[in-house]
Every structure is written in structure tokens, then in C-alpha cells.
Amino acid sequence: MDSSTSESEAETHSYVLINSRGRFEQFQERIRGLSEEPHVWQKPHVFLCCEGRDLGRGGGRLGLVQIGVKEDIYLLDVLTYGKNLEVLKQLFENEGIEKIMWDGRFAAAELWHDHEISIVAGMDIQLVHVQEKTGGRPIRGCLPADAMETAFLGLSSEILEATDLDLRAFNRRFPPH
């Protein structure tokens, strides 16, 4: 690496476009291997990002799903190779593998409403970021946690009992601001 090349420019990342049966089977094997090579202190995980038109909205359409597995990046083209949805369903509904994403609301809505795929064991790191930045305090129009008990006063006792929630105990978990 010469002095005019930055460290990030010198890094190369591999990616595999999954748009055929052979590559699909290669990706399936890679995902199976995640569960088979457990780490002592770390749960198996993948990084997830979805691209498409108006994801999570009426008329939206999923086009490309990006999955990061260790150093590799897999691009699953669900438009040209629909079988990719099968392996995505197996992966996303596997609670033994954590799915890490940034702002995954629309992707999760699209996967569920249009493909009946739920994301189990998902972590949205945008929410982690907001939690850390705000110290857990609500911002812009959110209902404060200490107001939860009064927010549900209009519900019947049968509904409250059916939920098994003790809102008074919920409020005690959050110290006053």
C-alpha cells in the first residue's frame, strides 16, 4: 500500500450475488454452518439489510437482501431467483442466529406482510443507539414510561387481567426523571 492509498481503499470485501441454484445452495450451506460452529461467548449472528421499492408500505416490493456473514457479504436477488425467500425464511425464523440491522422496521414489515417471514432474534442497533443517546428517556412525542398506568385506565379489568401486565410494577421499574 503506497502513501496515496487510504487504509479503507486498500480493504477488499468479497460478495456473492445469489441468483442461481448453485449459489443458492452455497449460501444455504454457509447458513447451516453458522449454527454448527458455535462460539464460546458469542451467539451466531448475521447482518441484515433489505432494499426495494416502498418497503413495508402498500405496493412495496422487496428486491435485494444483503446478508453479512463474518467477512462475506451475500446479495440475495429475490426478484430474479424467488427460491431465495426459502432460505431467508429458514434464516430469519431461526432463533439460534441473531439478526442485526439498522432501522429494520420497514424490512420487517415487508417480509411479514408480503412473504409471511418473521424476523426472530432480531436486534435493531438504531434502537440501541437511541437508548444510549437518550438514557432511555422518550423524545419528541413519546409517551413517558411513568404515564403508562394512567394511559390504560380506560381498559376493562378483564382485558388488563388477560394481558398479565401489572402496570404499577411496570412504572416502578422506571425512576422519575
Q: Going from the N-terminus, what domains does the chain have, and what CATH number goes with each?
A: 7-130 (3.30.420.10), 142-172 (no CATH)
Closest C-alpha among 115, 60, 121, 57 to residue 88: 115
Tens of pLDDT, residues 5-55: 555 555 666 789 999 999 999 999 999 888 776 677 778 999 999 999 999
User: Does the pTM exceed 0.85?
Assistant: no
Q: 110 in helix, strand or coil?
A: helix
Tens of pLDDT, residues 91-148: 999 998 999 999 899 999 999 999 999 999 999 988 888 777 777 665 665 545 555 4
Give residue 56's region: left, alpha or beta (phi > 0; psi -120 to 50). left
Length of the chain: 177
Q: How far is the C-alpha of 127 from the C-alpha of 100, rounded, in Å?
A: 11
